[in-house]
Each structure stands twice: as structure tokens, then as C-alpha cells.
Copies of this chain bind each other. A is one copy, B any other.
Amino acid sequence: MKLTDTAHMYNVQQKILVAVDCIIFGFDTQNLKLLLFKRKVDPFKGDWSLIGAFVKGNLSINDAAKQILFETTGLKDIYLDELKTYSDYNRDPGDRVISIAHYSLISINDFDIEKVEEFDAKWFNLDEIPDLVLDHNQMVKDAVNRLRKKVKHQPIGFNLLPEYFTLPKLQRLYESIYQRELDSRNFRKKILSQNILIKTDKKDKSESKKGAFLYCFDKDKFDILKTKGYNFDI
């Protein structure tokens, strides 16, 4: 029986459960982290898991992902990107389910801590991810790789920082994504040459006595780069 033979018969086709799982990255000024949840139900009740839900109603997949994020973190309008589809026939023993994984980048201070606690959620360092249900460890691995690649070509890293931030913090963010140290002189040269940062005259003295200047994005130039892509091959 060919797949393409019956392409015309909508009504004799199999319908399938469609889920969205979210890999939520955050940054706590030192480390890139991942938000994980205690699974509430069988199978695998109580195990650590990505947050996810079945797609229903008239939501697009992307809208479903946005809504999951809102329900779990209270955040709207955050960076969210489709990762890939996970569809092995037996990936979920509960039923045949395909899952379209999404990853998102949030500023770790912004989210609604009460909502997160309500969900039995916890932030994990990337090198301390526990065993997760189903194929969620693979999703995480894929998401980390995707993030590392993407951050080289598009200025999405900023989504992990609050509105105002210092260059040393931005550097630590990139270091925690790339998992290696960067030379601060080269880093500053490179990032400043992109012309997407606006220096303020305020300083953040929480990390040093001298204090570091706070910067914010030049939203307009940032948007241009976001669509065009760039090379930030640190």
C-alpha cells in the first residue's frame, strides 16, 4: 500500500495525537540553565520532563507553544523557535504521539516564580540534566546544539538577558553557551562593532567595585540583523 495512493481521501486517514514540548533556556548571570518539570501523570509520573501539552482547538503549533510558555512562566512575547519533530512510532508508550519540540530563551529574572513553582519546576545546569522521560534528553541535546549554532548567526542570545545588562554579563552568557572562555578584548570589539548596543551612563556595581556600564539593544538595528542574519563567529 503506497502512502501517495490514498492522498486524496481525507476521511480514511489516521489521525494522530500531536504534542508540543518546550525546551526552556534561561541564564542566571553565570550559567545557561534549563527549566524542567515533574511529570504529573502516568506513564512516568514523577519523573523529570520537559513541559508539553497536546495540541487542540484551533491553535497553530506555534501558538500552542506560546501558550504553554505563558501558562508555565507567565511570559509572553518571548523568543520561541521550532526545533524539530519527534515521531518514532513507539516514542510514547501511552499512545502514538508525535511531538514538535520548540525551544525558547527567557530572561531568568523575568518569569513568574509562583507559576513555575505551581508546576513543580526547577532550573538545571546544562551539565546536570537528569534522566528525562521519553526522548526528552535527545530533544535537549538537539536544542543545545541548535542554540549554539544559531547564536553564531543571529543575535538571539540577548533574549536571555534583562533589558539592561553589562558587557561582562553578556560575555558570560556567550561563554556559557559555547562552553569555553572568551577573550574580553576581542569579545567587546566584536560585539560593539555590530552597532546594536546602546551604552547608558548607568553602572551596575553588583559585581564589582568599579561597576560596569549598562547597555541595552538598539531595537531597530537589532531587528534588521535578526532577519538578515550575521556572523558572530566567536
> Which positions in A face B, CB cutoff 8 Å?
2-4, 6-11, 13-18, 40-42, 51-62, 64, 67-68, 71-72, 82, 84-85, 87-89, 94-98, 100, 119, 149, 229, 231, 233
Integer count of this chain's copies in the complex: 2
Q: Using known A-B contacts A54-B13, A89-B60, determine if residue A98 contacts B7 with beta carbons closer than 8 Å.
A: no
Give the chain B neighbours of A233 by CB distance below 8 A: 231
| Cα–Cα distance between A11 and B54 once the two chains are bound (Å) | 11
Across the A-B interface, the 9 shortest Cβ-Cβ residue pairs:
A8-B41, A15-B15, A3-B53, A58-B89, A61-B87, A14-B56, A13-B54, A60-B87, A10-B94
Shortest distance from the beta carbon of A24 to any chain B beta carbon, whole Å? 13
The distance from the CB of A58 to the nearest CB of chain B, in whole angstroms, is 4
Q: Which B residues are CB-close (under 8 A) to A89?
A: 58-60
The interface residues of chain B lying within 8 Å CB-to-CB of A88 are 60
Kindly state the separation between the CA atoms of A6 and B67 in the bound complex, as whole angstroms. 14
State A211–B13 Cα separation when bound (angstroms). Answer: 53
A234 to chain B, nearest CB (A): 14
A138 CB to closest chain B CB (Å) equals: 13
Contacts of A57 in B (CB 8 A): 14
A7-B87 contact, Cβ under 8 Å, with A16-B15, A18-B18 = no
Complex interface: chain B residues within 8 A of A62 (CB): 87
Instruction: Flag if A7 contacts B40 (CB, 8 Å).
Output: yes
Decide: A14 near B54, CB < 8 A? Known: A3-B71, A8-B41, A64-B3. yes
